[in-house]
Amino acid sequence: MGAAGGLAAASGTVFATGEYADDKRSKKKEKEMTDGDDAPAIPNAAVRVAHFSPDAPNVDVYVSGNQILSNVGYGDVSPYLEVDPGTYRVTITAAGDPETVAFDDDVTVGSAFYTVAAIGELGAGTFRPEVLVDAGSALVRLFHASPDAPAVDVYADDAPLFEDVEFGESTDYVAVPAGSYTLSVRPAGDPETTVAAFDVDLELDTAYTANAIGYLEPPAETEGREFTAEITVDGVLGDDA
């Protein structure tokens, strides 16, 4: 059982994995405290940069050719910078030396908060950014309850979300930018074959389970119980669901 996360091929949609204690009552209380007229507006997306590469010098960070941070030192974490959801060219260079480029590639962000963490070592050739989804996202997990289905991978649009989940297994929650997705279920390790696909709308600060149920090949006496995904909202009581 696994979950696919981090930076999805740099140019793909970003997801991040982790175990979350999703305290819905605390979230509801926080929402009530920030719903007043003077509450700060929550941006569509926000990004901060963290320098966690121990052998790298201070760095400058450019987004779509514009320098947004300068002289970021090892261990530093910038404040969040508000951006619109979309795809941006992110370039990381040595501080004051734009010709010395450590990273230069596209990063796609959705409606969420992100940390772009520079990790690895320049000397070992492992320097790279890892993109983590922070607060302000939806949480999704998969529960495989289809008895005749093999282990499966699940993709959100074309980005891998869960990998090699077997019957009876449940994944950890994965942080996903809020938005609309097509979830496709594929046999584990076979990205070209789609068993089933479902359209879902994921809202901010909401936890979901995609329950894979039914039969791939229903026995005669179980007509109408074909393989499908039942989407549930988790941790909400009564009319709040």
Domain that includes residue 178, residue range:
138-240
Q: Are residues 142 and 226 in the same domain?
A: yes
- Position 205 pLDDT exceeds 90: no
At which of 98, 115, 135 does a domain end? 135
Q: Are residues 225 and 149 in the same domain?
A: yes
Do residues 131 and 151 share a domain?
A: no
Reported pTM = 0.63
Amino acid letter, residue 160: P
Inside any domain, residue 12: no
For the CA atoms of 118, 179, 207, 130, the dihedral, rounded to the nearest 10 degrees, stands at -10
3-class secondary-structure state, position 33: helix
Whether the Cβ atoms of residue 234 and residue 209 lie closer than 8 Å to each other? yes
For the chain, how many structural domains are there in total? Answer: 2
Helices (H), 36-182: none
Whether residues 144 and 227 share a domain: the answer is: yes
- Both 156 and 116 in one domain: the answer is no
Q: Is residue 91 part of a domain?
A: yes
146 plus 130 within the same structural domain: no
| Average of per-residue pLDDT across 114-135 | 84
Is residue 4 included in any domain, yes or no?
no
CATH code of the domain covering residue 131: 2.60.40.1110
- Name the residue with tokens 């389970």: 209
Sheet holding 97-109, edge to edge: 66-72, 59-63, 86-94, 97-109
| More confident site: 40 or 193 | 193
**Average pLDDT taken over every residue of the chain:** 80
Give the residue from 109, 135, 161 where a domain finishes.
135
The verdict on 153 and 124 lying in the same domain is no
Give the count of beta carbons closer than 10 Å to the beta carbon of residue 63: 18
DSSP 170: B
Answer yes or no: is 40 within a domain: no
Domain limit, last residue, from 135, 158, 191: 135
- Answer left, alpha or beta for residue 145, where phi above 0 means left and psi between -120 and 50 means alpha: alpha
Angle at CA 157, nearest 5°, toward 168 and 181?
Answer: 85
Looking at the domain assignment, is residue 172 inside a domain?
yes
Answer whether residue 119 shows pLDDT above 50.
Answer: yes
Alpha-carbon dihedral angle through residues 59, 62, 63, 68, given to the nearest 10 degrees: 80
In a domain, 13, yes or no: no
Task: Name residue 211's beta-bridge partners.
Answer: 143, 230
Which of 209, 40, 181, 39 has its CA nearest to residue 110? 181
Output the domain CATH number for residue 168. Answer: 2.60.40
pLDDT in tens, 46-105: 888 999 998 889 999 999 999 999 999 999 999 888 888 889 998 999 999 999 988 898
Q: Specify if 10 maps to a domain.
A: no
Q: Both 131 and 159 in a single domain?
A: no
